[in-house]
């Protein structure tokens, strides 16, 4: 059964909104690579969330669709860094716009996994993980060990 896309919105600079609307699929093809780069940063705690707002730029809300795994992966990294998903999408667009980055295709695959061990008014314990692996030939399936959570 095919997963239904999740419909949500992101806040983007008006100048980038059209790029996102017209090239979302191609831009998202860089998401694994971009999330790997973002995960080089330290986990942020005891700070407020950072958004992609600037006084000198007009922003607009763009309704968009994500595959559940895309959305969960973005939220996983956003939660760890205490940033908005919109900020990640804006960074992804900036990466996609760089011709040198677009020319160097490095294929990665991603496996997001979550298990809820306890979720009640008394306690909450959620375990999440994200695993990346290099795909030598983009049409090849991932190695089986990459699909099994550790």
Structural domain contains residue 64? yes
Structural domain contains residue 139? no
Structural domain contains residue 21? yes
Structural domain contains residue 113? no
C-alpha 58/C-alpha 50 separation (Å) is 17
pLDDT digits (tens, 9 = 90+) for 112-122: 888 888 888 89
Task: With residue 79 as reference, give the H or E element that holds it.
Answer: helix 68-81
Structural domain contains residue 116? no
Structural domain contains residue 110? no
Structural domain contains residue 86? yes
pTM for this prediction: 0.78
State the residue range of the domain holding 91: 6-105
pLDDT digits (tens, 9 = 90+) for 32-46: 889 988 999 998 888
Structural domain contains residue 119? no
Number of domains observed in the structure of the chain:
1
C-alpha 3/C-alpha 73 separation (Å) is 15
pLDDT tens digit at each of 150 positions of the chain: 677 899 999 999 999 999 999 999 989 988 888 998 899 999 888 877 788 777 778 999 999 999 998 999 999 999 999 999 999 999 999 999 987 765 555 666 777 888 888 888 898 888 888 887 777 765 555 554 554 454
């Amino acid at each position: 059964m095919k997963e239904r896309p999740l419909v949500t919105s992101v806040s983007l600079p008006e100048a980038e909104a059209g790029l996102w609307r017209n090239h979302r699929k191609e831009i998202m093809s860089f998401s694994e690579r971009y999330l790997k780069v973002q995960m080089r940063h330290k986990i942020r705690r005891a700070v407020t969330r950072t958004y992609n707002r600037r006084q000198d730029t007009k922003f607009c809300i763009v309704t968009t669709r994500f595959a559940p795994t895309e959305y969960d992966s973005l939220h996983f990294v956003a939660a760890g860094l205490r940033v908005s998903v919109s900020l990640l999408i804006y960074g992804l667009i900036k990466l996609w716009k760089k011709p040198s980055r677009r020319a160097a295709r490095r294929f990665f695959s991603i496996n997001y996994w979550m298990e809820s061990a306890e979720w009640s008014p008394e306690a909450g314990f959620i375990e999440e993980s994200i695993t990346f692996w290099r795909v030598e030939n983009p049409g090849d399936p991932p190695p089986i060990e990459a699909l099994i959570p550790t």
